[in-house]
Structure formats: C-alpha cells, structure tokens
A and B are shown apart, each in its own frame.
Chain A
Amino acid sequence: MTQKDPDLLLLHAPLLRQGMTTPGAMRDVLYALAPATLAALWFFGLGALLVLVASIVGAVLAEWFFPGSRQRGESLLDASAILTGLLLGLTLPPGLPLWMAFLGGAVGIGLGKVIWGGLGHNLFNPALLGRAFLLATFPIPMTTWAPLRGSDSFFHVHASNLAPPFMQAQIDAISSATPLGLMKFDQEVTPLTNLVFGNTTGSLGETSGLLLVLGGIYLWLRRDLDWRIPVSIVVTVVVFSGCLGLADPVRFPSPLFSVFSGGMLLGAIYMATDPVTSPVTPRGTWIFGVGVGVLVVLIRVFGGLPEGVMYSILLMNAATPLIDRYTQPRIFGR
C-alpha cells in the first residue's frame, strides 16, 4: 500500500476549542434583551421602536464609517455595534426625537469605541458614553418622559419623535414624571408591582425589572455574564439605601424601590457587566460592583438629577485598569 503524505498543517496545540465565540456571546446578549425590549415596545408603541432603530442605525453606520485597521464592514460581523445601539436605545425616553437617538448611537460608537481602537480597547461603555453626550447636549428632551401608551393605538407615534434635525421642536408630548422623579421631588412612591412588570413611565428599558432579570439569568446560564457584578451592585444599593432609609424613611426610598426603579437593573445586568469596560479579575469585579452601587445611591440621593446609574458606571469604568492592576489573582503555589 502506498501512502501519500498529506500536506500537514502545524497548528499549535491545544487543537480543541470550546464552542463559544465572541460574536456568539454578543448575540446572546441581544437574545437576553429581546423580551424586555418587546415589553417596552408594547408599553410605549411604535415611537419607541423608531427610537431603538434610529439609535442602532447610528451605531452601525459609525462602525461602518470608521473601520479602523480592519476591512470596512468586517467589524460589524461581531454584532457589538448592534448591541451598543440597542443598549443606548433602551436608556432613551420614548418620545425622543429620532435624529437625537441616531446621533447618540453614532457618538457612542465613534467616540466611545472606534477612536480607542475598536472592540476590546475602549475604556468607557460606548452606549453610556452616547447617553452622557445626549444628556449633556439635549437636557430637556432627554428628561421629558412620554407617558405610557395606555389605550392609544400601538401605531401612535409621538410628534416629538419626528422633530426635524437641529430644529429644537417644543416637546409637545404630555410629559409625566418617572418613579425616581416622583420620589425625589414629590416623595411619592410608585407601587413595586408596577416597577417589576414595567408599566411605569421612564426610558424604554428601565421599565420591566422582571424581564431584565430573566434575561440576566439566561446570560448567567450561558456563562456570558459575570454574576458578581450585578449581585454586588444590587447588594450594595440595598444595604446602603436601607441604612439611609432607617435614618429617614420619608426622604429616602426603600431598598427594593431603589433596585427596581430607574436604570438600575438595565445598568447592573447589561451595562456594568460589559466585559471590555469592567475588571477581569474576580476580586476586581467585587470592588467595581460595590463602587457602582455606592455611587448610584450617592448620586440619586444628593445629585441634581433623579438618576445616577449612568455616571456611576462610567466613573467606575475609568477606575477599571487600576482595579485590575491591583487585584491580580493569587498564583497557584504562591
């Protein structure tokens, strides 16, 4: 028998790989967010869908426009730009003019990711950077909360959604206050069941706590999510706001209210856990989570705005390289 020599590759060991890929992990987050996103659309109607689409299109176009060192469009395949657009969209008010949402997505990817060198190199969470830009630039539309759809048709679109670019249209939607706003300015407590199921005023994704938690559990089961971060944030917020609540129950909200209101769960489960911008060491993730939790309560209680999740995460993003440096794991046998 003759034996022909095959043309042998010299691939380095290990030859075997587990199945998960980075784009797969990104897609998992999209799947995990799908139920909460659909609930938001149900509560807010078509206008909300348009806001999400505008933000995603802005993010994807920016990624496509600044390809960095890679082939144009190649970096879109990892699905991270879509995820950034979706996450940003979920932090926006449902009545936001679409061009603002588009701009937010583009700035988030452009300034938040591409200029750092693309996926894996950015210091700040791109979606939150986009939102910080929007909040600084358009403070009124960003804090004008359109009410729930109620009995209106699903296809009802807020007039403010369709405002032409750079013409600051007067926000004509009847605005209503968010649970956090009511708490901060009027000491009025929204019932917890509304917070859990999501039929409250607010940004798109900060509504249904239950579905956000379920998505988080899915990610945890898929091992896409470091459970330490959401757990440490939530525990810190509960303990810290609980202590404040003991001191003055009228002025300070109850711990459960703190957890289920505002962008708390969206931020803790889906944004603070962005692996690129959070510490990689186990001890580091605990420090990071506790830091976010403390900042959230401080900003919510003492800050000028009712919400503080965004700034808390961005500030801790900045501390991430340092945390990683000082929390290197103990090495085996040392």
Chain B
Amino acid sequence: MNTLRLLRRNFDHGVHPAHHKKQTEDLAIQRVPFVSHYVMPLGQHIGVPSRPTVKAGEQVGRGQLIAEPGGFVSTALHSPVTGTVREIGEFRGIDGQFSPAMQIEADPYATQQLESTTGIDWMSLSLDEFIGQVQQAGIVGMGGAAFPSHVKFSVPDGVKINRLLINGAECEPYLTNDHRLMVERPEDLLLGAEIVRQKLGAEETLIGVERNKPDAIEILRQHIQPGQPVRVVPLQVKYPQGAEKMIIKTVFGREVPAGQFPRDVEVNVNNVGTIVAIADYFLRGLPSIERIVTVAGPGVSYPANLIVPLGTPVREVLRFCGGLKDETREVIMGGPMMGRPIASLDVPVLKGSSGILAFTDAETARPQEYPCIRCGRCLEACPYFLNPSRFARLAKARMFDEMQQYSVMDCVECGCCTFACPSNIPIVLLIRTGKDALRASREKPE
C-alpha cells in the first residue's frame, strides 16, 4: 500500500524538457571577486520597497544594514561590500524600468570581513523574535519568487504547521545552483532546516529532490542523524515539479485550494537556497548579501556555479566566466522556462536571480507561428488544468472578460503550454496580456 503510494507520488500533467544540467552540475561553487560598483534596488523582493538608512557619501561595511523594511511585507537590505554609498536614485532594473536603488562603490581594499560575525542564539528565540530576525536578515525566497520569508513563517493564530518541506526539485533546465548547495553544504542545509522546523513547531522535515540529482539525495541521506525527523523524498523529473503547489501535491498528495496558501494544508515550503541563507545568518551572522547563481547556456564561454554578491552587474559576472560568445542572441535571468530576458548587461544580480543563461541562434530561432488546431497538447501540459488554447484565442480577440470566466488568474505562467504548443503560439505572452488588461480595468473601473 505504501509502496503503491510512493510509486504514484506525483502531480498531474506537466512537461519534460531536456535537463541541460550536464554543463554545470559537477562544477564546484566558486566566489566571484569584488568589482568596482554595486547597484542594490530597494525593491528586489515582492512587496513594499525597503527604506534607506544611509545617505550618499556614507561609508558602509560588508553586511551593514543599508535599508530597513518599508512595511510588514518588506525586508531589510545590507551592503554586499565594504565601500561608499555613491548615489541613491533611479537605476534601470532587470525589467528595463527605472526604479529606486542604491549605488555603492567598493573600497579598493575590500575584504570578506563582515560587520558582525557572531551567530544568534536561535534556541532561545520566540517565534515572533525569530520572524523579526529573518526580516532583519533580509531573507527572501531564493528560488526566484523573492517572497519575504518572514511573511511565509507568520501563520495566523490557530493555524498549525505540521510539516516543513524543503524544495530541492530545481526543475528548471540548466540551473544547478540548488543542486550544488545540497552537495556542498548538506550540514548547513540540515541545520537551517532544523532551526525553521523547531521554530515553526513542525513535526517533520521533508526534502524533495528530483531524481536527476542522485548525488544530492545520497549526500543528504548520509548527513541525517539517526532519529532526526528528516526525510529525503526523491521526485520524478518533470517540470514544474518545483512549483510550490505542485511539490506539495507530489509529496503530500494534497491540492492547495485556489487562492489559498501552503499553510492551509499545514505545510511550509522553502527553497534550498533560502534555508542555507537562514543557516548562514543564525550560525554566522551573515545576512542576505550574496547568492549562488548558475551561469550557463550555449552562449557562455566558461559556465560556472558562482557565489555572487548582490548588486553585481551581470556584465561583471559574465566577464568572470570568460564573456559571452559572439553568437549569443539572448540573456535570461532565471531559468529558461520562467526567467526574464534582459536588454542590458548592466542590470544587477538580485536576491531572486537563480541563473544567468545565454542562448544562441539554435535556441532562439523560432519556426513560424501556425494557427491553433486545438490539438489539446496545452491542456495536457497545464499543471493547473486550465485551457490555454482558449486563453490564446480569447486574448487575440481581446475578449479579456471571457478569459476571467475561464479562471485566467489561476495561471502562474509556468510556460508548459507554450513549450508543448506545436503551432508555436506565444500562449504565455497572450495570457499575460489578458491578465494585465484585467488588472488595469479592475484598478480603473470606468
């Protein structure tokens, strides 16, 4: 009975893109050296932007607080480097828009020296104190969404978190940053998980890892102490296995109701990178000032997994990797299924930047778009059981209200439909057009 459940353990639908992880999965994490200038956007998380606590011209140390949370759904920012605040103003972000940011010029003799190197006695913290510390550390979801972690940990009264789920699926092709963290820092991952589990009062920790990372599964299992309430759960390799609601369905067999949160099924889900960031802060006093980035793709000369200080321009990261090949046509921040293309290499690495991927003609050449023949492949791909072909048709006809009737707002834009479409219709783009139009009309009811 139990075996049968294990065999059937999965979410429905989804797609099977090639993994493309060979390029970097065996490359140990390296540290990118300091560069001359850093740009720290004040809104690199979901929610209210942070409020600067330093002024232009002020000296800052590595790890020093430079902006405080602007509200509850907001988080602190710390300087990634020892240096001087040059300017607080508008800088171009990865979406191509100007937004408030802080430019810091690195001290030429900057070292890895931290402002504070003492850990925190996490055992004695209450849950509220713990949540406050996480917010002060500036920790957000490192899987890409950059949702402030302390908000996730704040559950309403009466809601009990039974299980902590660590998301090590890393289902996006090309990305190997979580893989390398699990292989290289299993102790920290398990310690971080134990801190969160105890603070939330969960009974058990589960670590979901896709089966294409057997070394990570093996190493984590070896590091679990006997009697420790931690289990590693190997997952089928299928995109989007790492989507929060999908990994919950796979591991617990439960669907999080639409419009609700994992806590409504008594689960808390955190990415591997987030948990390691928590360990770094509570054990060593290192706030969120750097992250692991996979630099890969056919357009990169020397692919790598790197520790990149936040705010480092993409150009400098790529320079460290030997630059882009001449045939590069597109650079994406994040994974190839959900990441964002960037127009300029001057944009900074953010807390949510899991990858910098460069692609050439082979990946960017698009066959012509054919009419939709209603083949149904997108319906079979959509993990939310939506009808993407209808969304595409309605969006082209600008029938946005009809799209809402078919629950377009439940779409998370995972890209499965577009991946599966034989007619090469940009379905996700059309869906996004519809959602934007619906949001705009909701704000202006005229």
Contact = CB atoms under 8 A, between A and B. Distances in A.
Interface string B334-349: 1111111111110000
Contact of A3 (B256, B315, B421): B315
Interface in A94-124: 118-121
Given A15-B330, A276-B374, A333 B257 contact: yes
Interface stretch (B27-35, B46-54, B412-420, B438-446): B412-420
Contacts of A333: 245, 255-260, 384, 410
Interface in B313-353: 315, 318-319, 323-324, 326, 328-332, 334-345
Nearest to B316: A3
B376 A14 contact: no
Contacts of B334: 13
Interface stretch (A21-29, A247-255, A311-319): A21-29
B379 A329 contact: yes
Nearest to A24: B422
Given A17-B419, A226-B376, A281-B379, A332 B341 contact: no
A243 B330 CA distance: 63
Contacts of A1: 319, 323
Nearest to A80: B373
Contacts of B326: 4, 6
Interface residues of B, number: 70
Interface string B393-423: 0000000000000110010000100111111
Contact of A6 (B328, B340, B429): B328
Contacts of A21: 367, 370, 422-424
Contacts of B372: 120
B359 A15 contact: yes
Nearest to A15: B336
Interface of A is mostly: loop
B200 interface: no
Contacts of B340: 13
A10 interface: yes
Chain A interface size range: 35 or more
Contacts of A7: 329
Interface in A262-278: 275-276, 278
B392 to A, nearest CB: 11
A5 interface: yes
A81 to B, nearest CB: 13
A221 interface: no
Interface of B is mostly: loop
B376 A280 contact: yes
B435 to A, nearest CB: 14
A9 B330 contact: yes
Contact of B375 (A12, A23, A275, A329): A275
Contact of A331 (B299, B323, B364, B386): B386
B229 interface: no
Given A15-B330, A15-B359, A280-B389, A331 B426 contact: no
Contacts of A11: 330, 341, 364, 366
A14 B315 contact: no
Given A1-B323, A9-B341, A329 B385 contact: yes
B363 interface: yes
Nearest to A274: B373
A334 B341 contact: no
A275 B374 contact: yes
Contacts of B370: 21-23, 78, 119-120
Contacts of A280: 374-376, 379, 387, 389-390
A174 interface: no
A16 interface: yes
Contacts of A121: 371
Q: What 10 A-B pairs are tightest by C-beta distance, nearest first?
A: A14-B415, A120-B371, A333-B258, A332-B384, A22-B370, A14-B337, A275-B375, A15-B336, A10-B341, A329-B385
Given A21-B424, A22-B422, A25-B373, 16 more contacts: A6-B329, A8-B329, A8-B342, A13-B336, A13-B428, A14-B337, A15-B332, A17-B418, A25-B422, A120-B372, A120-B423, A226-B376, A278-B374, A333-B259, A333-B260, A334-B407
5 contacts: A14-B428, A22-B375, A275-B376, A280-B375, A333-B256
